Every structure is written in C-alpha cells, then in structure tokens.
Amino acid sequence: MSRKYFEFWPKALPHDLSVPATNLFYNATVAATRYPDKPFIVFFEGVLTYSQFAQQSEQLAGYLQQDCGVQQGDRVLLVMQNSPQFIVSYYAILRANAIVVPVNPMSVTAELEHYVQDSGAKVALVAQEVYPQVKPLLGAKLDRVIVATYSEYILPSTQLRMPEAVSAPRQAIADQGVTLWSAALAANRKPGELRMGPDDLCVIPYSSGTTGRPKGCMLTHRNVMHTLVVNTVWFDGIQDSSQLVVLPFFHVTSMQGGMNAPIYQGSTIVLMCRWDRDVAAELIQRYKLISWTAISTMVIDFLANPRLNEYDLSSLQRVSGGGAAMPAAVGERLQQLIGSPYIEGYGLTETIAPTHINPPDRPKRQCLGIPICNTDSRVIDPDTLKEVPQGTIGEIVSHGPQIFRGYWRNDDATRAAFIEIDGKRFFRTGDLGYVDPDGYFFLVDRLKRMINASGYKVWPAEVEAQMYQHPAIQEACVIASKDAHRGETVKAVVVLRPSHKGKVSENDIIEWTRQNMAVYKHPRVIEFVDALPKSATGKVQWRALQEAEVARAAKTG
C-alpha cells in the first residue's frame, strides 16, 4: 500500500513509537511524583492536585478490595458524568487490579442491567443522580454501590453556571450495600500489590452493532497506552499544556485525549460535565486554556454565541475532534477566530480512539486524516475482501497496537470483526471510505447501521428492540434523519397494531421512548406506515427506508 502520506507526517515524529509497557496506573504515580502540588483537575473552581488525585485513587482502591471484595480481573461499573470522581474512580479500579466498565450516565435501568449482566460486574461506582436508575439492580445484580456527589469537589463560592446535578448537595442514602464516596475515602484503606501488566485487560467500553445488543470491547493496558501516547506526541503535548474537557469520559475520545493523555503528560484539565457555550468561553478566558477537543455541534453552537466577542479567547491554539465531519463554513469561521484549522481524527471504541488523525501542519477538511504511528490502514472491497485501488470506495480496515483484543464473551462477533491480510490481523470498521492521491482517508458512508447524533453512536437495532416493548407497536424500523443541530437524529418508522390505530399518536410514542431509553437514543421523529418494505426472505429493508429519507431531505432542502 502507498505511504505517500509520510510526506505530510508531523515534523520530527517517528513513524513507529516505543510505548511504555506498564499498567496505566503507573502514569498516575509518575505524575504525582513529578508534580505533586500542580493542579491536575479544575472543576467549577475546585482544584485537585496530582498528589491528591493519586492519594484518593489509592484510598478508593483499598476500599474496593477490602470492603467491596473486588478481586484481580473483576469488572467494575463506572457510571458518572465528567467529574474528578470519574477520574479517581477509573484509576482506583485499575489500582485494585480490576477492569473499568465505563457506561453512559444517561442510561436507564434496563440498559444498565445489560451492562451489569454481560460484564459480570458486582460493584459499581455511580453518581448521585444516576443512583435511582441503579438502585433496582442492587441486591439482585449488584452487591455493592459507591455513590459520589459532584458538589463535594467544586468551590462552594463559585459563580460559574452549573447543572443542577453538579450543585446538588449530598443526599443521605442508607440503602443496604451502598457506601457514600466520602465514607469510602475516609476509611483510608491501603490497596495490595499492583499486579496487572500491559497485556492484561484495562477497560471494557461497550460498542454496539447491527445485532442490537451493545458488546464489550476488550482493551488492554498496552492498547490504551498506545493512543494516549500518540495523542501526546502528535500534538506536541507537554506538562504545561492546559485544555478544556467537555466531551464525556465514558466515550473513548475524551477518555484518551481528555483524561489519560493529560495524566501521562502531567498537564492540567478544566472540566465541564454538560455543554454550555458561555461557561466554555469563560473557562478558556479565565484559565488561558490552550486546547479543546470538541465535536462539530459544539463548535457550531460556540460560534453562534452573540456574546462571543466579549471573551478573550487569544490563548486557544487548537481545537480538534471527530465523530462527524465539520461543515466547511464552520471550520473557516473557527480558523479565523483562533488562527489555526480544526484538526479532525477518526477512531472507534474498538480502537480506543484514533487510528487516523490529520497532520496539524497540513490538515484537510472533512477528512479522517492519515494512519497514526504503528498503524496500517487500508480500503478493501467488503465482498471480495481484496484491497481496492486509490480513490475507490470500500471498507476501511486497520491493524495496529491500539486494536482491541475482541468482544467480551462473544467469540462469533470477534471472528466476524477481523480479517487477515498479508499475514496481519485487520479490524473491519464497517465504515466505507476512500484514499485520496495524498494518502488521506475520507469517510463516505457506514456499512453498519449506525446513527451519529451529536457525536453519540445510536444503533438502530438496539432502539428497535426496546420499541417492541410498547404494546401499540407491531413493527418498527429505525433510520437516520437529517437534523440541522445534531447532524443526524433518530427516526422510527412504525406499524401500529390494528387495535391501537387512531388511539396512539406519534407524540405518545416519542414520549414513551424518552422515558424508556437514554435521551440521545430515543426517536425524535415518528412516522406511521401501514407496512414496512421487506425482502423475499421477510427481512425489513431498512436501507430502502433510509434512502427514501435521504431523498426526502434532499428534495426539501
């Protein structure tokens, strides 16, 4: 395969990197030793230094081992918004020789039950506002739950606008099996020996596919270490870097670029747990932040702020991200504001963030970028599995040290996810794209049925499975619908049972889905039809519905 993109490679950066062969927690130990009094996390003006972070991670790890019975190799659920407690929890789980299972805090009980049951987790660390959704699982599925209150880490006198979940005072929860965060730390337990190595499992984030149920992605400490180190060197990260972190930590992009890479560098992060364009601008101004990782919808909203010129944003040198292509006009406006272009990258949960990033000195717009260090990516015909010529559309496949080991307890899905080329194991991304004459990769479509709503991945089969629980729904097919703000939003084409026709409205269905699934997943548009198109074998032809939706959007502009 042509490596013409090496001509545009970041200056002074080798094509292959040597990555530390250590447990991820070692990075926390090093940072705390080097920069003990340096601010690591700033959270609504509350500051957590590196030494405090390492100490609390150790204390919590000891509590997990001695009081919650966490053993080596156990999976531990982590369900929180961006907060100091999320990071302390993540590293405490690793220090306890266990495996992190990060979950979207917008998940409802039925979704959480799947993660608990599939992963085999018996212990969970959750935020106070999440606990009501977790409580029904306590006793039957979960043995122990530690509940954190975000407001314990803010500066009480802060005037920054914050979500209610952050400002809420600590609640007294006395349920059997529940420990409050403050009590767990106050126990001051000391953990045992750190035993997990680079090839042991580190984290199991969940990704879904066309089969509907989310699948756990087995990622080792070595996998995780690779993309966090590349993230650091690709963007010249140093200990005195500072960045705004808004994207959620349960998602691998922010997990790596917003949490794990800064710890490796020993740099400072300023946290937000919910998007607020004025607060974001205020934080950039107040802390002279250098970088920000953002999805396109955030940037669009940020630039649309009529008060934007009231803030001093001169410190901001880089905005990067991915998940959805940045509209060209928006990218141009951003570049005029900060003096540098938006840097796009590409990766999946299975690759623990990037396989591709644009070179900072020569990025292309609406482009995935080029394969990062130690990574071999190609485009193949999804039917013949043969590599296609440059410029030809096919499925993107990747090989590299960041590629996951496989799907947790799902050998069939693991086998289907990989292909051998030239004696190397390549991961089939399910994304269709092509390579331009310079060797840059571009995304065209998705082979898999995935909807990208404001950067969140929504899997139609999973939403459909939940919709069938509604007594009025006979059949449902979920597709993507264009949305001016979210890029894509979720639409469900529904066939009602004869007994419910005329008695149930589209809004009734929307409201039911809102109450029964995470807010980013539930359909915002419902269309009633008499029948769904089907193939000769009886399979719903979702692609025909999707193409009709695309044509309708094009016709209406």
Distance (Å, whole) CA 448 – CA 429: 9
Nearby residues of 454 by Cβ (< 8 Å), 6 or more positions away: 295, 297, 485, 486, 487, 520
Can you give 331-374 as a three-state secondary structure string?
A: HHHHHHHHCCCCEEEEEEHHHCEEEEECCCCCCCCCCCEEECCC
**Domain-by-domain residue ranges, the chain?**
50-196, 453-556
At residue 471, the pLDDT reads 92
Closest to 328 (Cα-Cα) out of 369, 354, 364, 292? 364
Distance (Å, whole) CA 365 – CA 171: 48
- For the stretch 237-272, pLDDT in tens is 999 999 999 999 999 999 999 999 999 999 999 999
At residue 47, the pLDDT reads 98
Distance (Å, whole) CA 169 – CA 153: 11
At residue 448, the pLDDT reads 67
Question: What proportions of the chain, in percent to the nearest 5, are helix, strand and coil?
Answer: 35, 25, 40
At residue 210, the pLDDT reads 44
Q: For residue 51, is it left (φ>0), alpha (ψ between -120 and 50) or beta?
A: alpha
The DSSP call for residue 534 is B
At residue 555, the pLDDT reads 85
Can you give 76-135 as a three-state secondary structure string?
A: EEEECCCCHHHHHHHHHHHHCCCEEEECCCCCCHHHHHHHHHHHCCCEEEEECCCHHHHH
At residue 538, the pLDDT reads 60
pLDDT in tens, the chain (557 residues): 668 999 999 999 999 999 999 999 999 999 999 999 999 999 999 999 999 999 999 999 999 999 999 999 999 999 999 999 999 999 999 999 999 999 999 999 999 999 999 999 999 999 999 999 999 999 999 999 999 999 999 999 999 999 999 999 999 999 999 999 999 999 999 999 999 999 999 999 998 644 468 899 999 999 999 999 999 999 999 999 999 999 999 999 999 999 999 999 999 999 999 999 999 999 999 999 999 999 888 898 899 899 999 999 999 999 999 877 787 888 899 999 999 999 999 999 999 999 999 999 999 998 999 999 999 999 999 889 999 999 999 999 999 999 999 999 999 999 999 999 999 999 999 998 999 999 999 998 777 677 888 888 787 878 888 898 899 998 899 999 988 888 889 999 999 989 999 999 999 999 999 999 999 999 999 999 999 997 655 668 888 898 899 888 888 86
Please report the DSSP string for 373-410 in residue order.
TT-EEEEE-TTT-PBPPTT--EEEEEESTTS--EETT-
Distance (Å, whole) CA 71 – CA 62: 11
Nearby residues of 444 by Cβ (< 8 Å), 6 or more positions away: 393, 432, 433, 434
> Class of 50-196 per CATH?
alpha beta
At residue 208, the pLDDT reads 60
Distance (Å, whole) CA 370 – CA 50: 34
The CATH architecture annotation of domain 453-556 reads 2-Layer Sandwich (3.30)
Beta bridge partners of 443: 433
At residue 1, the pLDDT reads 64
Beta bridge partners of 495: 475
The answer to whether the 50-196 and 453-556 domains have the same CATH topology is no
